[in-house]
A and B are shown apart, each in its own frame.
Chain A
Amino acid sequence: DAKTTQPPSMDCAEGRAANLPCNHSTISGNEYVYWYRQIHSQGPQYIIHGLKNNETNEMASLIITEDRKSSTLILPHATLRDTAVYYCIAFSGGSNYKLTFGKGTLLTVNP
């Protein structure tokens, strides 16, 4: 799976949009971009994934650049409960079944 690079930490004001970037310049054509998050002392939580089109669900939006070398996870109205470590993963699935989390981005939502 392609390596991903994320900033170690970001801050966001409560109620504002949080935009979390991820670089995956070596991503291959069959690799999806997945986002998970982990709130302190809890299990990771799946957020969203996409291949090349932008995606939106009830939790977040995922914007993938046309060249697929980077993406942005958008939490449109961040709340204090969104404070967590966010992981961006390039993952093809198939026989490569295991998830590998990098260091991720610690998002702190401030009141």
Chain B
Amino acid sequence: DVKVTQSSRYLVKRTGEKVFLECVQDMDHENMFWYRQDPGLGLRLIYFSYDVKMKEKGDIPEGYSVSREKKERFSLILESASTNQTSMYLCASSPRVREQYFGPGTRLTVT
């Protein structure tokens, strides 16, 4: 079974803090994705990566950056957390651009 793990299920941070969300997959997938999900807005793509050290912006990259130094690990960084970044963050991986396998999600609250 494909396994995608995320570093935390719940996280509470203060405004202005730097936040790291980590995602690890164990299936040697080339593609990895970061989404956020908010009520009424659905799933929105923040960044994705199709190879080590490669990244592409999604629909809402502002305020975020990513890092992919190893194939199995894709990190999302909030440089200076703000309250409007309170959300559910979902990581996914994919062997090709079709079925994506999601992690359990991190519910981030910024106060």
Question: Which A residues contact B (CB, under 8 angstroms)?
Answer: 32, 34, 41-46, 49, 91, 93-103
Main secondary structure of the interface of A (DSSP, over half): loop
Please measure, in the bound complex, the distance between the C-alpha atom of A43 and the C-alpha atom of B45, giving whole angstroms: 14
Q: Is B101 an interface residue (CB 8 A)?
A: yes
Main secondary structure of the interface of B (DSSP, over half): strand
Q: Can you list 25 A-B contacts (CB < 8 A)?
A: A32-B98, A42-B105, A43-B4, A43-B91, A43-B102, A43-B103, A43-B105, A44-B43, A44-B92, A44-B100, A45-B102, A46-B100, A46-B102, A93-B98, A94-B97, A96-B97, A97-B97, A98-B33, A98-B45, A98-B58, A98-B59, A99-B43, A99-B45, A99-B92, A101-B42
Question: Which residues from chain A contact B61 at a C-beta distance below 8 Å?
Answer: none
- B interface residues, tally (CB under 8 Å): 25
Question: Which residues from chain A contact B104 at a C-beta distance below 8 Å?
Answer: 42-43
Q: Which residue of B lies closest to A97 (CB)?
A: B97
Q: Is B75 an interface residue (CB 8 A)?
A: no
Chain B residues 54 to 111 lying within 8 A of chain A, measured CB to CB, are 58-59, 90-92, 96-105, 107
